Structure 1
Amino acid sequence: MGACFSNQIKTDIASSSWLSSKFLSREGSKGSASATSFSHTPRTEGEILKNANLKSFTLGELKSATRSFRPDSMVGEGGFGCVFKGWIDETSLAPSKPGTGIVIAVKRLNQEGLQGHREWLAEINYLGQLDHPNLVKLVGYCLEEEQRLLVYEFMPRGSLENHLFRRGTFFQPISWNTRVRMALGAARGLAFLHNAQPQVIYRDFKASNILLDSNYNAKLSDFGLARDGPEGDNSHVSTRVVGTQGYAAPEYLATGHLSAKSDVYSFGVVLLELLSGRRTIDKNQPVGEHNLVDWARPYLTNKRRLLRVMDPRLQGQYSLTRALKIALLALDCISMDSKVRPSMNDVVKTLEELHVQKETPKEQPNLLQPSSDNNNKSPQAVNYPRPSIM
């Protein structure tokens, strides 16, 4: 187990405008939530666990469900630790034989990792009482001696990052219509959080934190960095800067001022990744194109220039009229002025309108047949969220 987690660098950047290559340290989160409202975080561990709508598993139960955390049960890893596949009974939630009952993903906290007890509690605090189709469902937890584990619904298609950036003749790229549907699902998840009372700011929206079910429906995962939004007339909350390079809003990086519009910026970055098939930070790109936002911004305002940004693997699957509307939405989301960014409610409305449009790709030469959503290949192992490297 000791070697299954990524090494991390912990940095306090109270006055810095850049992020470390990994998740940074964070203050404790406030707030547990239901679908519409929730109370502030209780101050003791027992109160938090008591208030969460989750099953308390024993370590023995999770060992039985995952075949004693055998190596061939491991399906992913991240800053938190390793993730194992298991099975439990649908009704009693008791361990069941492999292949029977419902499939679960069990994350086991690595004792030596930097993402520790606070993040574990934050995950319980939020996902334990938040419920939405576009949020990964947290089934339960285990707290036994020094062992801390989290039990989720299993997401068989892995992460958006895994599908979007894979290359090779064996893998079919995600189709255009599927990308639009994924963007809409993720946007609905963020809008739900922003409309909660008190508001929840996700604070770590990125491709690796968007998991996909068997039908490629997008669900947000990993709430270890989430926190309550501003209250009353306050426009923001002041926090230590944490997150992943390339996705954080500029005003948050510069001042530590966090608002729902910080999440909107991050959403705009992921929208650009979906359009382009490029990572937000990619040193393998030509000089001047390492930072996706900086490079793509000038090309998002007209059809002819937009073609330079669009993923060439999508040729023939979309009309430029529709693609331009999504590019302009992304441009609004990544505005340097947070006040002019749209709300996630507005983003959802725009994407819903675009999602139902039945346009045919008439504006591009050398059209290729669009790939079917069913042709996407499912990875053998689920890549659960991990911090990106700077």
Structure 2
Amino acid sequence: MMIYIVFLIFTSLINSNHAQAFYDATSCREGGNTLGTRYTCTNTTLTRSSCQTFLIFRANNQFTTISSISSLFRLPLHTLLELNHIDSPSEILLVDREIFVPITCSCLGAFYQTRINYTTNENTTFSDIACGVFEGLVKKITLVEENSNQEVIKVGFNLNLPLKCACPNNDYKYLVTYPLVSGDSINKVSTKFGISKDDILEFNNLHLDTTVYPETTILVPLKSNPMINLDVPNFQPPTPGFLSTNPVDKHAKAMKLKMVYIIVSIVSSTLILVILVVTGLYLNALNRCKRDIFVIPSTHRSSFTSFSTPQVGSPRSRLSPTNKSSASSCLSPDLLASIKYSLYNFTIEEIKTFTRDFNKDCKVSDNTYKGLFDDHLVLIKEIEFSEIRHVIDLHSKINHVNILKLLGVCYNESSWSYLVLQHPSSGSLRDCLTNSSSLTWHRRTQIAFDVAMGLHYLHYCIVPPYIQTGLCSGNIFVTSKWRAKLAVLSRNPYPGINGSSSFEYESFDALKTLEKEDILEFGMVLLEILSGKVKIESTLLRESIGFLGGEGSEGGCFENLKSFMDPCLKEDYPLAEALCLGVLAKACVENDPLHRPSMEDILKVLARMV
């Protein structure tokens, strides 16, 4: 029995190389090590500690000839010429022309790798080298680990590059490291190398429904000498019967853009019948809302003065109303009084207890903390004493399911005062997107719809209207039932509608301009909901959806859209809805505010999805 167990252990060691070729779907530019970040090995006498194999390197604007590529990898020029059937070392190669590079792959420590030295010829970054020049043959995190002494990469730095490779088991002769680019797929790679896609899937621990991404690598198992079919393009070919000239490329781009708008039009037209019913019901409710609002001329409006200022340090007591009510509140005195009585007046000692004396673990963002009040999670916002009355005035007019409720205040004239609001159990939308495994497509569309409903209410259902400037996934909160609530934490930023200032109708154009800024920020939230990317600069996120406007041609609109979507969704979403939401987001972030949709238009699109 003992001999049999030992035999099984030895067998597993011999086959361990095959079992550890996992595909790593994480971004080349992100930190963190996962299965497939580097191909692991077991450095024993029973496994192959080194082998002769190949990797694929594509010609690019920096390395345009076999001569320059041989210098990069420090290989004999004639070897690359013969292997890739190229006649001249100075022949200018097409961009993305795939070149076989012979390497010696060795098991060093726990990973298979082949090492080269790379000297930078310009100021650059780890990401640009790993994911740009070498297209994911090494990840940024690996470069950082291997070159920890380099903080800034300047011209002339000599970097150590441990490129990804692996040695095969006895079933295969070579494992070719293949960096994926936009437009690649398992089917396309199997066609290029003339092998079964099942072999690729099995060896890389992939499934048929697994999405592969640019700037990552797969291992191509070969049983004979490597050959590649260069006639299989990395991009979607143009319509048969036309030559691939520049005019045709422009026409193809225009046709793709036209097709996007046609598809969106078709999807939108199918929603009209349902939207008409929803819109009719909503407009009826909106009209009732507007009829209930009692608008006072600007000359008779006064600032909110119907909240009495409680004494600092008093026990937890509810704010007591005065007998005088505010005309600008647009609420009846009885209803306003009920709102006032629902607010607690907290002491500074209680605020410190809730936040564990403002412990950094309780800090949510700048000047904002979370804490426990009667076993309920609350949000605590630092605010200047002079601002509290304006915020209370604002919240006295708000009663909406998609806006956080103000629970109480803490007055402190000598330093910071505090607002205490409800804090939904799932935290902020940014937190949910960072750990987005539970955010299904339906939940994401519901959250987008809830945010739009909250903004529409602030814009059109309170007087004067409130503009939610600074909207982002960090101040949108999610309940345990995956419904969204906006945090309104400050007075209205629009100078014509603050506090005691009168709202002048001549400022309508300025107000509309600020509304368009709100819509721009809402569009950025939509892009984060689609992509799951919350730690990327807004400009880069906006540029990454250029394909929805016809920019670029590689891979086609739908393939680019799939690459843009959050990998945690695993393509478990309606592609037509994703495209529709993507086009809506792109419209919201247009540079020209006049080209951005209104909140009514946004609601019409989102209403059908929920």
Q: Which of 594, 598, 605 in structure 2 is aligned with 1:343?
A: 598
Structure index of larger Rg: 2
What secondary structure is seen at the aligned counterpart in 1 of 2:546?
A: helix
Q: 1:108 to 1:153 in 2, by over 3 A?
A: closer
Question: Counterpart of 1:353?
Answer: 608
Match of 1:90 in 2: none
- The question of 1:317 aligning with 2:572 is answered yes
Contact 1:205/1:267 (8 A) holds in 2: yes
Q: In the superposition, relative to structure 1, how do residues 265 and 218 fare at CA in structure 2: closer, same or farther (>3 Å)?
A: same
The residue aligned with 1:130 is 398
Q: Deviations over 1:37-67 (max 9, x none)?
A: 788672779679966733453444x755985
| 2:541 counterpart of 1:292 | yes
Whether the aligned pair in 2 keeps the contact of 1:280 and 1:293 (CA below 8 Å) is no
Counterpart mapping for 1:67-216 below 5 A: 67=353, 69-70=355-356, 75-87=362-374, 99=375, 103=376, 105=378, 107=380, 109=382, 116-117=384-385, 120-146=388-414, 148-166=417-435, 172-195=437-460, 196-216=462-482
Q: CA deviation at 1:227?
A: 3.2
Q: In the alignment, does 2:344 pair up with 1:57?
A: yes
Aligned partner letter, 1:177: H
Relative to structure 1, the CA distance from residue 333 to residue 63 in structure 2 (aligned partners, 3 Å threshold; closer, same or farther) is same
**Stretches of structure 2 lacking an aligned partner (at least 5 in a row):** 1-291, 310-318, 327-335, 498-502, 551-556
Shift of 1:120: 4.2
Q: Deviation of residue 335 (structure 1)?
A: 1.6
Residue among 554, 563, 571 paired with 1:308: 563
Aligned residues: 275
Task: Tell me the SS of whatever aligns to 2:370.
Answer: strand
Match of 2:510 among 230, 237, 241: 237
Deviations 1:320-353 (A, max 9, x none): 1111111111111112221221111221121011
- For the Cα contact (< 8 Å) 1:181–1:217, is it kept in 2? yes
More deviation in 67-76 or 187-196? Answer: 67-76
CA contact (8 A) 1:134 1:218 kept: yes
Per the alignment, residue 21 of structure 1 pairs with none
Say which SS state the counterpart of residue 200 (structure 1) adopts. coil
SS in 1 for 2:369: strand
Equivalents in 2 of 1:273, 1:232: separation in Å? Answer: 35
- C-alpha change, 1:56 and 1:127, in structure 2 (3 Å) is closer
Q: Deviations over 1:97-155 (max 9, x none)?
A: xx4xxx2515153xxxxx63455444323223211000001122121443522222231
What secondary structure does 2:425 align onto?
coil
The yes-or-no answer on 1:42 pairing with 2:303 is: yes
CA distance in 1, matches of 2:401, 2:520: 22
Cα distance in 2 for partners of 1:68, 1:164 equals 26
1 CA distance for matches of 2:422 and 2:431?
Answer: 18
> How far, CA to CA, are the matches of 2:539 and 2:493 in structure 1?
30
Q: Offset at 1:224? A: 1.7
Q: 1:334 aligns with which of 589, 592, 596?
A: 589
CA distance in 1, matches of 2:544, 2:302: 41
Give the counterpart letter for 2:476 in structure 1. I
Q: Which has the higher contact order (CA 8 A, sep 6+)?
A: 1
The gaps in structure 1 that reach 5 residues or longer are 1-34, 88-98, 110-114, 239-256, 283-288, 356-390
Matched, 1:218 2:490: no
Identity of aligned residues (%): 25
More displaced stretch, 289-298 vs 197-206: 289-298
Q: 1:276 to 1:41 in 2, by over 3 A?
A: farther
Letter in 2 for 1:198: P
Q: Quick one: distance in 1 between partners of 2:541 and 2:439?
A: 19
Task: Give the 3 Å change call, closer, same or farther, for CA 38–297 of structure 1 in structure 2.
Answer: farther
Superposed displacement of residue 214, structure 1: 1.6
1:206 and 1:261 mapped to 2: Cα distance?
A: 15
Q: Is the 8 A contact 1:82 1:108 kept in 2?
A: yes
- Describe the SS at the equivalent of 1:192: helix
CA contact (8 A) 2:345 2:408 kept: no
TM-score (norm 1): 0.60
Q: Which letter does structure 1 place at the counterpart of 2:411?
A: L
The Cα shift of 1:298 comes to 2.9
8 Å CA contact retained: 1:104, 1:151: no
Residue 75 (structure 1) shift: 3.9
For the aligned residues, what is the CA RMSD?
3.6
Q: Is 1:261 matched up with 2:516? A: yes
SS of corresponding position for 1:149:
strand
Q: Give the secondary-structure state (helix, strand or coil) at the position aligned to 2:419.
A: strand
Q: Distance in 2 between matches of 1:159 and 1:36?
A: 32
Contact 2:304 / 2:389 at 8 angstroms: preserved in 1?
no
CA apart distance, 1:80: 2.4
Does the residue aligned with 1:346 lie in a helix, a strand or coil? helix
Matched, 1:281 2:546: no
C-alpha distance 41-148 of structure 1, shift in aligned 2 (>3 A): farther
Whole-Å separation in 1 of the counterparts to 2:566 and 2:294: 40
